[in-house]
């Protein structure tokens, strides 16, 4: 496995994430897309840290760990907001929650 392999995988993950956010009609699937985006970044950081910097320099891996923590926090807030949306609208489809526009 070289750096290129990791970068290609993370680029694919990122694109899939953006694709999911743009096309999915369900808030949970959008959350999954966001998680894919964040994880592709973590993979990037870890791979760069392993291949591009000296072995004792673990800054990239530390950033990846923080990335995981923040992704978890974001998922928690997102799910709470989805819950509030469901209570108010009875659906979690973004195209049906459209009282604000113009």
Site residues, other proteins (CB under 8 A): 10, 14, 17-18, 21, 27, 30, 33-34, 37-38, 40-41, 44-45, 47-48, 52-53, 57, 59-60, 62-63, 66-67, 70, 73-74, 77-78, 80-82, 84-85, 87-89, 94, 97-102
Residue 8 C-beta: closest distance to other proteins, Å:
13
**CB-based contacts of 68: which residues, under 8 Å, 6+ apart?**
42
Residue 44 C-beta: closest distance to other proteins, Å:
4
95: which DSSP letter? G
Residue 21 C-beta: closest distance to other proteins, Å:
5
Residue 71 C-beta: closest distance to other proteins, Å:
9
> Taking the chain, what is the end-to-end CA distance rounded to the nearest angstrom?
50
What is the rounded CA–CA span in Å between residue 98 and residue 102? 10
Nearer to other proteins, 1 or 77 (CB): 77
What is the rounded CA–CA span in Å between residue 13 and residue 33? 9
Is 14 strand, coil or helix? helix
């Amino acid at each position: 496995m070289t750096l290129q392999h990791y970068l290609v995988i993370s680029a694919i993950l990122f694109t899939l994430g953006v694709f999911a956010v743009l096309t999915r009609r369900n808030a949970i699937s959008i959350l999954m897309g966001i998680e894919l985006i964040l994880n592709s970044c973590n993979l990037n950081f870890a791979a760069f840290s392993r291949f591009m910097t000296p072995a004792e320099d673990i800054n990239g891996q530390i950033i990846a760990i923080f990335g995981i923590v923040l992704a978890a926090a974001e998922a928690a807030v997102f799910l709470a907001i989805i819950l509030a949306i469901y209570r108010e609208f009875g659906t979690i489809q973004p195209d049906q929650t459209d009282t604000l526009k113009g």
